[in-house]
């Protein structure tokens, strides 16, 4: 990196200038107090709404951090694209897509809608994410959801170069389980209409889905994971090939068309980058072949996306030509 730095061959050559521009955008967005914390479980309702963090990592490992990038929070729906990648990795594309589609739904993330062929729309809406958890669990019939969650946490750890420990929030999991009525309805619908892969147990499938939502990471860790996706599956920190390029390609395509809930179309129009948000306030964004970044701010808009996170993305692409179209 040092020799590449001297010869100015870095992914972002004017790093200092880039960082000062990012700081300006970060400061611009900070006063925005629009939106509200998710309030369906106490741990999200009571989270400090003022938290605001942004972390970047380029495909050659240059990193920057601003604000609350060290705060562990549940990754919630940010878990969905990696679970999809893991399903592709373990079970292959043909088997996976027999049970989950790749179409944007244009419907709220927890809607009970299915495609005309009875598959859930895509792996980023709850129905598709619950089915994706079922696909993963069906490959390990003798193992409990929590053990399989350990495998997923290990994958996250490799995605973020092991810079910190991937954690699990028992409190989040217990609250999620106690309030998961709509997710139970979705799971029964999937069992009745789509059919579950290898007749996996509905409870294992749901527990795996909810456990993966309850994984805790920081924005700094998520930024490196995003950079691994930007880098075709090779972690810029360790150089390890964590995911094959083919899997990354499909994962990013799904994030592009469905990662920002029913706002994914507008987000693609305005920001033009594959991204995934979660209800704890994280947004993970990939600038293919250049870098990944993650934002954290708990107040959400009506779609369930972090208000500051989306505002930051908009201002970023106003300033830089990162919109991929």
Size of the site for ligand DON (CB under 6 A): 11
Least separation, in Å, of the C-beta of 307 and ligand DON? Answer: 15
* DSSP labels, 199-234: G--HHHHHHHHHHHHTEEE-HHHHHHHHHHHHTTTB
- Give the shortest CB-246-to-ligand DON separation in angstroms: 25
Q: Is 219 in the site for ligand DON (CB under 6 A)?
A: no
CA distance 245 to 314: 27
Of 172-191, binders to ligand DON (CB under 6 A) are: 176, 183
Q: Which of 278, 292, 298, 309 binds ligand DON (CB under 6 A)?
A: 278
213 touches ligand DON by CB under 6 A:
yes
**Separation between Cα atoms, residue 281 and residue 8, nearest integer Å:** 35
Nearer Cβ to ligand DON, position 111 or 163?
Answer: 111
Q: Which is nearer to ligand DON, 107 or 143 (CB)?
A: 107
Q: Return the closest-CA partner of residue 74 out of 162, 171, 147.
A: 171
Nearer to ligand DON, 183 or 257 (CB): 183
Identify the residue among 128, 298, 304, 309 touching ligand DON (CB under 6 A): 304
Least Cα distance to 276 among 122, 165, 138, 95 occurs for 122
Lookup: tokens for 50: 């003022």
Minimal distance, residue 31 CB to ligand DON, in Å: 25
Between CA 60 and CA 8 the distance in angstroms is 12
Q: Which is nearer to ligand DON, 122 or 183 (CB)?
A: 183
Please give the Cα distance from 254 to 74 (Å, whole number).
Answer: 22
Of the pair 99, 109, the CB lying nearest ligand DON is at 109
Map residues 50-89 to x or -, x wherever contact with ligand DON holds by CB under 6 A.
Answer: --------------------------xx------------
Name which of 37 and 110 has its Cβ closer to ligand DON.
110
The least CB distance from residue 143 to ligand DON, in Å, is 22
Do 69 and 54 meet the contact criterion of CB atoms below 8 Å apart? yes
The sign of the CA dihedral 63, 22, 164, 307 is negative
* Distance, CA of 258 to CA of 125 (rounded, Å): 8
CA distance 11 to 56: 13
CA 107 to chain centre: 18
Decide if residue 105 touches ligand DON (CB under 6 A).
no
Q: Which is nearer to ligand DON, 43 or 237 (CB)?
A: 43
The token duo for 317 is 């692409």
Q: Which is nearer to ligand DON, 244 or 265 (CB)?
A: 265
Nearer to ligand DON, 58 or 76 (CB): 76
* Torsion-angle region of 62 (φ positive above 0: left; ψ -120 to 50: alpha; else: beta): beta
Q: How far is CA 60 from the centre of its chain?
A: 21
279 binds ligand DON per the rule CB under 6 A: yes
Per-position x/- string for 107-136, each x denoting binding to ligand DON as judged by CB under 6 A, each - no binding: --xx---------------x----------
Q: Which one-letter DSSP state was computed for residue 276?
A: E
Binding mask 129-168 for ligand DON (x = CB under 6 A): ----------------------------------------
Q: How many Å is the maximal CA-CA distance in the chain? A: 61
Q: How far apart are CA 121 and CA 207, in angstroms?
A: 21
- Contact residues toward ligand DON (CB under 6 A) are 76-77, 109-110, 126, 176, 183, 213, 278-279, 304
């Amino acid at each position: 990196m040092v020799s590449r730095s001297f010869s100015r061959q870095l992914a972002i050559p004017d790093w200092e200038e880039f960082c000062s521009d990012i700081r300006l955008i970060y400061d611009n967005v900070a006063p925005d107090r629009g939106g509200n914390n998710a309030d369906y479980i106490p741990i999200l309702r009571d989270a400090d709404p003022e938290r605001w963090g942004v972390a970047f990592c380029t495909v050659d490992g240059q990193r920057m951090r601003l604000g609350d990038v060290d705060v562990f929070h549940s990754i919630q729906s940010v878990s969905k694209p990696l679970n999809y990648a893991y399903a592709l990795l373990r079970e292959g594309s043909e088997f996976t897509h027999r049970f989950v589609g790749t179409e944007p739904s244009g419907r709220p993330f927890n809607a009970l809608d299915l495609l005309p062929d009875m598959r859930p729309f895509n792996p980023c809406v709850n129905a598709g994410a619950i089915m994706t958890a079922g696909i993963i669990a069906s490959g390990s019939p003798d193992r409990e959801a929590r053990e399989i969650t350990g495998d997923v946490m290990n994958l996250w750890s490799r995605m973020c170069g092991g810079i910190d420990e991937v954690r699990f929030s028992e409190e989040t999991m217990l609250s999620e389980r106690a309030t998961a009525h709509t997710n139970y309805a979705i799971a029964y619908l999937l069992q009745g209409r789509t059919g579950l892969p290898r007749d996996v147990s509905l409870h294992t499938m749901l527990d795996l889905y909810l456990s993966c939502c309850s994984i805790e990471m920081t924005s700094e860790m998520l930024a490196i994971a995003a950079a691994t996706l930007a880098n075709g599956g090779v972690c810029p920190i360790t150089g390890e090939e964590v995911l094959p390029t083919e899997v990354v390609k499909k994962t990013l395509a799904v994030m592009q068309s469905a990662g920002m809930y029913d706002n994914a179309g507008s987000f693609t129009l305005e920001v033009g980058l594959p991204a995934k948000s979660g209800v704890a306030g994280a947004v993970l964004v990939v600038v293919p072949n250049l870098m990944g970044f993650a934002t954290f701010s708990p107040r959400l808009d009506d779609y369930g996306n972090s208000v500051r996170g989306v505002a930051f993305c908009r201002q970023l692409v106003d300033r830089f030509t990162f919109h991929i179209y």
